Amino acid sequence: MESTFLRGTGRKPWRHQIEAVDCILHALSVDGRRNLLVQHATGSGKSATMALLVHQLAEQVHDPTKKGFTLILLLSDRLQLDRQLGDTLETFLSRCHGSSRLRRCETRTGQLMKVLSSLGQLVERSAKALVVVTTKQKLDRVLSDGKNSLDLSPIFACGRVAVICEECHRAHFEGGKTAEAVRMLFGGGRSTQPEDLVYIGFTGTPSPSCLRLFRASVHGYHLGQAEKEGVVLDVLTNYETCRLQSLSEKCRYILADLQRVAQSYDEAFATDMKAMVVCRRRVDVVSYVQQLRKLAQSTNGWLPGLGWSPGFFLNRGICGFFSGAVGDLLEERLNGLPLLEACRSARILVVCNKLETGFDEPRLAAMYLDRCLESDVKMVQVLSRINRPLPGKDSVYVRDFHDQWAAVRLAFDRFRRVVEGGRCGGRRFRRRRCRNRVWCHQIAEHDVQLEQMLQTPLPPEKILQLTETHQRLRKELHLTGGSRLMSLLKATRRLAQEVGSDVSMVNAVELAGSPSRIVFVDQKAVVKHRRTWGKR
């Protein structure tokens, strides 16, 4: 397999890539009905590993006694990731003389429908498996468009079917539309998986729903190993928290910080590096792009640390990426370029729920977080966009505008080991865990809103009301102290001085000695959300 990998990718494989494919092939030969999970750290070459696996499965001769694979479905859930995987696989198979069996269905659902409808003819009397690359969304639409009369179960007479899923930790895969669509298309029920169909999932951050489908990893190469062996960079080494309020302050800081960051690299990489700004809302993406372009214009079209190109950065060097529209403004209109060209052209990528996971761009070296990341999986996935090493790139930089350092560190520690499947603790435990996660995220959002509120004078009664609300909720939320506490207390003191309220001042000072984190939150919002989870 080493020679095949070298021929397909043009480079020598890492040890974990060959081991993973070996483990999968062995597991399939022992128990062909078992779903298989591969936990490989984000940035450790999963796309190339999947290409090698597809080649090995497709090359197996269809022996009726051994039940080889006749169809391999390679699924992703992002357009950018679909094209990235498709390009990697097509290059790999073409170099290994197997691209004639590849079908890429990336334009529209009808293209996938046409391929699936003609599967019987395509696989009949063939010695190699057919490989279909598409997105989960297109597969979902095959059923939702009313074309659920399609039955692909006769294909099992020719051999087995493998569904290889990239980023299989996605919540909508297991227990969602995609799993249901796959089962029903191949003759199973809504909750019954056909015997000759097997899922092979790849992820660096297995979620609980992922572990329920796959149970345990057939091969693991976790984040801690990848960092230790230099396969990926440690993104927490240069992690800093920055307390900035207005958008203009943040934009000025980003441009100045990029100049400082660029000075830490050699000139060859500094003139080619990229940065990513992660936003909370789509409208924030538009605001960031417009403000950064305005500042770039004031510096004659030059972005510090990213080289010189008159006028380039005003048009194509700063691009925003989001789904849907902001008013009547679409992403392509904002950038003046299609998605793929904008990704290649942009030196500062401003994103909201797009390109945050699965996006492979080794030139990304700096990230600016202007959003509270809601889960451990999200934290690791988003920050890992910048962990790819390159010649001249031996470190990366993260700037956090929302003080998430403690949560981020715990999230990375969780995935610096192989995540094992286990008992979830029952329905009540899962409900409580999910509820608390939502509350904690909501409180983080209220922290930001409160800091903005305290910029203007408020009645002392309002401050006391917010404080009392927190005291009633503190025991239930079990939140520990944080560095944001002092900034909140200082802001409260300033406000108390402005309104001349000694009561507010005393209350703030007394709370400063509390071991718990002081969070001001609207009780109605929390209670409203809590009711969605039923009675305790």
Q: What pLDDT shows up at residue 122?
A: 63
Q: What pLDDT shows up at residue 519?
A: 42
Helices (H), 299-404: 312, 331-335, 339-345, 376-383
C-alpha to C-alpha distances, 239 to 24, 242, 388, 390, nearest whole angstrom = 37, 10, 16, 20
Where is average pLDDT lowest: 153-162, 192-201, 386-395, 446-455? 446-455
The residue type found at 45 is: G
CATH number of 2-228: 3.20.20.70, 3.30.1360.10, 3.40.50.300, 3.40.50.620?
Answer: 3.40.50.300
| Range picked from 181-185, 312-316, 437-441, 451-455 for highest mean pLDDT | 181-185
Q: What pLDDT shows up at residue 522?
A: 41
Q: What pLDDT shows up at residue 527?
A: 36
Determine the straight-line distance between the first and last CA of the chain, rounded to whole angstroms. 55
Q: What pLDDT shows up at residue 286?
A: 95
Mapped onto helix, strand or coil, the DSSP state of residue 323 is coil
Architecture of domain 239-414: 3-Layer(aba) Sandwich (3.40)
Say if residue 180's pLDDT is above 80. Answer: no
Task: State the chain's mean pLDDT as an integer.
Answer: 77
Mapped onto helix, strand or coil, the DSSP state of residue 230 is coil
Q: Provide the 8-state DSSP code for 402.
A: S
At 228, phi and psi to the nearest 5? -65, -40
pLDDT band at 414 (very low <50, low <70, confident <90, very high): very high
What pLDDT digit, counting tens, does each position of 151-169 carry?
Answer: 778 888 888 889 998 877 7
What pLDDT digit, counting tens, does each position of 348-367 carry?
Answer: 999 999 998 878 899 999 99
Q: Which of 95, 96, 155, 106 is nearest to 130 (CA)?
A: 155
What pLDDT digit, counting tens, does each position of 22-47 carry?
Answer: 999 999 888 777 888 999 999 999 99
At 412, phi and psi to the nearest 5? -70, -35
Q: What pLDDT shows up at residue 242?
A: 92
CB-based burial of residue 457 (10 Å sphere; 0-12 exposed, 13-18 middle, 19+ buried)?
exposed
Say if residue 532's pLDDT is above 80. Answer: no
Contact 306, 262 (CB under 8 A): yes
Contact 42, 168 (CB under 8 A): no
d(CA 339, CA 321): 8
The DSSP H or E segment spanning 241 is strand 239-241
At 73, phi and psi to the nearest 5? -100, 120
C-alpha to C-alpha distances, 83 to 9, 225, 357, nearest whole angstrom = 17, 28, 14
Say if residue 172's pLDDT is above 60. Answer: no
The residue type found at 32 is: G
What pLDDT digit, counting tens, does each position of 85-98 carry?
Answer: 888 998 998 888 76
Q: What pLDDT shows up at residue 302?
A: 57
Per the model's pLDDT, the better-predicted residue between 59 and 322 turns out to be: 322
Mean pLDDT of 198-220: 84
Q: What pLDDT shows up at residue 271?
A: 83
Percent of the chain, pLDDT > 70? 68
- In the numeric block, the tokens 């198979």 are attached to 93
Where is average pLDDT lowest: 282-291, 342-351, 416-425, 515-524? 515-524
Exposure of 67 in the CB half-sphere (CA atoms within 13 A): 16
* CATH topology identical between 2-228 and 239-414: yes
Contact 381, 393 (CB under 8 A): no
Contacts of 233 (CB under 8 A, 6+ apart): 227, 386, 387, 388, 389, 393, 394, 395, 396
Q: What pLDDT shows up at residue 253?
A: 94
pLDDT band at 50 (very low <50, low <70, confident <90, very high): very high
Domain map (residue ranges) of the chain: 2-228, 239-414, 427-531
Per the model's pLDDT, the better-predicted residue between 259 and 145 turns out to be: 259
Where is average pLDDT lowest: 430-434, 478-482, 529-533? 529-533
Percent helix / strand / coil, the chain, rounded to 5:
50, 15, 35
Mean pLDDT of 462-489: 53
Q: Which of 50, 4, 32, 34 is nearest to 360 (CA)?
A: 50
Q: What pLDDT shows up at residue 60?
A: 72
Q: Which of 173, 223, 174, 221 is nearest to 408 (CA)?
A: 223
